[in-house]
Chain A
Amino acid sequence: MRTISHEELYTAISNLVVQANFNLPDHVYQALSTMHSSEKKPLAKETLHILLQNATIAATKHIPLCQDCGSVIVFLQIGTGVTIDGNPEEIINTAVADTYRSHYLRPSIVKDPLFDRTNTGTNTPVFIHTDIVEGDSLAITVYIKGGGSENMSSLRMFTPTADIEQIIGYIVATVKQAGPNPCPPLFLGIGIGGTADVAMLNAKKAVLQKEPHPNEEYRRLEEVILQRCNTTGVGPLGFGGNNTVATVRIKEAPTHIATLPVALNLNCHSLRYRSTIL
């Protein structure tokens, strides 16, 4: 059994938090850059130009990419052959709290959703999701999700006999209705199947998949949804144009004979995440 020390986990989380908040992942920058090259509408093009400059300024001047430094979502894939020296939840929360303070990242978490909306001041608690996997390593992803785009999330429980066109229609309508609010161009994560909660979690995981779906039918569906979303005319930050959605990623799961959940995670243009393996 391999042991990961308290310090190793703490340092890994801290580094991922910093990278995610200040350095846009290369493939995200590339996606914005490609859209900038293809965009015809002057205001949309200028907007994409500003977003590219934003990424450069954030990295070089160490200013957060967005003032909304998000909810911190952590995905852990814990190998069956590995143990962590200490309580991982405690270590992760401490690392996030310390790093948010020392890097002047905005704390945005309130204690209670209804009766005590006092800022915890630490951007904790972190929302942690754990999978147990084969092997003796620990895979960690830190995902920073802003509130404006999170507010545009959606879940619909379709009947199992619903046809794909209905599902596509719902997705495109949701993107169109959200309009400028979630800060397009969007990275769209779609969770299909499972239970309501599993679909929603898969929508979160899906958006972090760099590559299109390995299965051809799902890959084609991703492409169709992308094309349809980009005919809505919403455009970058809702200022019009052909670039409303940058990528569409689907993560499916087996489901009950009576159900067909479809969950949508609309991520803003600032897709902030970083991963590492210990």
Chain B
Amino acid sequence: MKTIDLHTPIPEHDLQQLKAGDFITISGTIYTARDKAHKKIAELVAQQKPLPIDFTNAVIYYAGPSPAPPGMPIGAIGPTTSYRMDAYTEAMLSLGVRMFIGKGSRSSEVKKLLVNYNAVYCSSFGGAAAYLNQCVVDAQIVAFEEFGPEAMYKLTVEKFPVIVINDMYGGDLYA
């Protein structure tokens, strides 16, 4: 299939050209965050406390990897279902996140927010967690280590494959 190869930080014009249904690969830095990390970040924002990373132009990957076996940077690392993060999406967008990667559909509210904030939602390949492991070059915990698999990881990825589900123009692959 025709793929578009992107590198982080993803330049504005590259984000703008993305359309629902595009097959893209991402190389560079992405951050994992799932249920507990989102809740915690929302609390930190509410309490005006310092945040673990700079979210400006960040790519957030909804994932909770399995532990790294010896000799590997990470274990299995497929996406988790995204709708559970819907309630926190506006907070993340207002912090500067421009791309979310997960799996499954988003609420109509989130779809509107993506248009308002010029951001993009992509799906990776649910259940292809061993396959996706092969795209991760490095993994470091950057926050919330106490959450175990729900800690926030900084991942260095090479040609990490995703499909654009919701582009910044309201396009929706699942519609």
Contacts and interface: CB of A to CB of B under 8 A. Distances in A.
Interface of A: 42-43, 46-47, 50-51, 53-55, 57-58, 61-69, 103-108, 117, 119, 121, 146-148, 151, 179-181, 183, 237-240, 268-270
B104 A148 contact: yes
A75 to B, nearest CB: 23
A63 B125 contact: no
Contacts of B42: none
A63 B127 contact: no
A104 B69 contact: yes
A112 to B, nearest CB: 15
B129 interface: yes
Q: Which 7 A-B pairs have the closest CB atoms?
A: A106-B66, A58-B130, A63-B130, A181-B104, A67-B76, A183-B126, A54-B131
Given A54-B131, A65-B129, A119 B77 contact: no
Contacts, number: 138
B96 interface: no
A65 B131 CA distance: 9
Contacts of A65: 76, 127, 129-130
Contacts of A103: 69
B70 to A, nearest CB: 9
Given A104-B66, A106-B65, A66 B127 contact: yes
Contacts of B68: 104
B110 interface: no
Interface in B62-83: 63-69, 72, 75-78, 80-81, 83
B149 interface: yes
29 contacts: A43-B21, A46-B1, A50-B161, A54-B125, A54-B130, A57-B133, A63-B72, A63-B76, A63-B130, A65-B129, A67-B129, A67-B149, A68-B129, A69-B66, A106-B149, A117-B36, A119-B147, A119-B148, A148-B81, A148-B126, A151-B81, A179-B104, A181-B81, A181-B83, A181-B104, A181-B105, A238-B104, A238-B105, A239-B163
B98 interface: no
Interface in B135-174: 147-150, 161, 163, 173-174
Given A106-B66, A239-B163, A66 B103 contact: no
Interface string B110-135: 00000000000001011111110110
B155 to A, nearest CB: 13
A54 B161 CA distance: 13
Interface of B: 1, 21, 23, 36, 63-69, 72, 75-78, 80-81, 83, 103-105, 123, 125-131, 133-134, 147-150, 161, 163, 173-174
Main secondary structure of the interface of A (DSSP, over half): loop
Given A104-B68, A105-B67, 18 more contacts: A43-B21, A50-B128, A53-B128, A57-B133, A63-B72, A63-B75, A63-B129, A67-B76, A68-B64, A104-B67, A106-B67, A179-B105, A180-B104, A181-B105, A183-B126, A237-B123, A238-B104, A240-B173
B81 A64 contact: no
Given A67-B63, A119-B149, A239-B163, A179 B75 contact: no
Nearest to B21: A43
Contact of A148 (B65, B66, B103, B161): B103
Contact of A53 (B63, B75, B131, B150): B131
A67 B65 contact: yes
A253 B81 CA distance: 33
A107 B149 contact: yes
